[in-house]
Structure 1
């Protein structure tokens, strides 16, 4: 009987000890879970708070649509192109030091009041323009100096456009001006002939005929398409004011005409520069 009681007490003690151990393990596990949940909640709250702050910052610095429209419409009017061809690539809030938005015109009186507004950069993919505006877009001014580096084209008046190409002509260059003041025309024909004449030469004494391969002609035509030469249709990139003795080049394809000069050729849009280089390379390679 004593032996049975002793065994009973031993079994109960073992059960109690096991229960205590299990209770301790569960307590530790619960504590770790609570700590993990607390940390997770803290991280989520921090991210949500940061996102809200970021959203508010973006909202407060967003360029108002009326301001954007005013700038795009002004530049489209100046360039004679659709506003859809332009995009705003950068903008910042600005406080201008005077009523002229720090871009006074000649003999213009500028109030000395601080004017809140925007500094906006617009691009057509080839060149950039910088604008100063007031806060609402009711006043916009093009910063010509900041926009230097690429030229601003103007539309060639219809009365000054050269005649369209003949059916067999792929490309034409007319060069005029310079010290001699002479005008030359060079045409590339589909069969590869490259014919150069001086306009006004009654005896046609300066005519030259050279050739490139038909394959080169086809390659050049494909190059014009890839370079989107038609994008520059009827545009002129004028020489700087006061410049003299420069040569004006007028390039014509079936898609249109573009005009530039030797003084400013390095400031032409990149695509147009590549067309000029390709044409010059083709002309010099002719035999």
Structure 2
């Protein structure tokens, strides 16, 4: 046991409560990720130097609608994914709790599937390339991941394994053992670090190699998530064996898809950049 551990800061999951109406940090994290991502995509679409000559990109009006598509994909996919991947035996016995999203419980891989479906529908209806829209999402998705992991920390969920590191945190909702603040690890790797990597690739290659940015994001997330799984305390339903967890298993197809997207992006020459 460590001689020093950080007690969990007193953070009320509810920011403001007026009668039955409660505004929770968890919900605000998703709102912040979606709104900041939408704003960043607007700036990206207006940066002519990132695009090829004649390459069709979403308009400002398109992005307004895309925000709605993305929100529905993230919330519905994330919740359904959590129920099916991580808690089906429990929710099968307590079906009404499936709708209680304010208590937490959103799966990234489920949200990803929901967003992919939303993007495919949106791109088809607007006559846009699916890969182009995916690349846009790849640049801004780490913003949402960062805020989402901070919300996990405030909600005291997805805590880490017991440890003796000096920055260990005691989560009252878990027990009195010092644990890795794995939510912060994920916020820094899946959020900050991945945002830097994808942004640097976008700065260098722009959107002139369709699928490249989406592939880089998929590879980066799969590696970061798998790394953080060594520090996160998995639920009993998430344990595959002494090493593998459900998070690692679900990240494997994502890693392979990312490698395929990057390879496909480099199979053909980059599109000619647009003139300033």
TM-score under structure 1 length normalisation: 0.19
Name the structure where strand makes up a greater proportion of residues.
1
Whichever of the two has the greater Rg, that structure is: 1
TM-score under structure 2 length normalisation: 0.20
More relative contact order, 1 or 2 (CA 8 Å, 6+ apart) = 2
